[in-house]
Chain A
Amino acid sequence: SQQGEEDPQALSIQEGENATMNCSYKTSINNLQWYRQNSGRGLVHLILIRSNEREKHSGRLRVTLDTSKKSSSLLITASRAADTASYFCATDRDDYKLSFGAGTTVTVRA
């Protein structure tokens, strides 16, 4: 079952600009994760934020979590061509399973 929903579905930005995408979910969570998928490849884990955390950074990535609004955002700063990919949020389900959204496709133009 799909709990997370990303917004927007697609995003096109100029190299050097920031990219922001959002994830909304329906039920309470222990943690939320963000993944990146390059075309034709598997997913790569980017960052995990726990339900008692509000913000987390990793390099050029900044993730926020608002449990009262059941939403999270992923910000990529100073984007590069290599950031072109699809980005997925994933929330935990019971029994060590994850629920993935449909993703946001980000295109970074040179």
Chain B
Amino acid sequence: DGGITQSPKYLFRKEGQNVTLSCEQNLNHDAMYWYRQDPGQGLRLIYYSQIVNDFQKGDIAEGYSVSREKKESFPLTVTSAQKNPTAFYLCASSILQGMGNQPQHFGDGTRLSIL
């Protein structure tokens, strides 16, 4: 079955530590996205990528970094510079076609907490 796989489901970060969240898709989608979701709030865009080896900052990129070395993979690193990293992180992908945006397919998220 095609889909998006995020791992791990739960992650704990110590002070001063960088952690990497994995996102893999087998939908052959060109575009991939990372969102942050805080309790009772909507999704905020961290980074997005439309093509391999290219990515752009979203609305809240500070303290985060990404790479897009393969079409299928879009890992997110939460660096020690992100002072409030506790949140639910969602990865999504979509095709790029036509006017307006196409539906995005989401993984089941990684919940990150501070130790």
Contact = CB atoms under 8 A, between A and B. Distances in A.
A89 B107 CA distance: 18
Interface residues of B, number: 32
A107 to B, nearest CB: 14
B96 A1 contact: no
Interface string B55-71: 01011000000000000
B103 A102 contact: no
Q: Is the interface of A mostly helix, strand, loop or mixed?
A: loop
Contacts, number: 70
A48 B99 CA distance: 13
Max count, chain A CB within 10 A of own CB: residue among B43, B44, B109: B43
Q: How large is the interface on A (under 10, 10 to 19, 20 to 34, 35 or more residues)?
A: 20 to 34
A3 to B, nearest CB: 10
Residue of B35, B58, B101 with most chain A CB atoms under a 10 A cut-off: B101
Interface of B: 4, 6, 31, 33, 35, 40-45, 48, 50, 56, 58-59, 90, 92, 94, 96, 99-109, 111
Given A42-B106, A44-B106, 10 more contacts: A40-B109, A40-B111, A42-B4, A42-B107, A43-B92, A45-B104, A96-B31, A96-B102, A97-B101, A101-B42
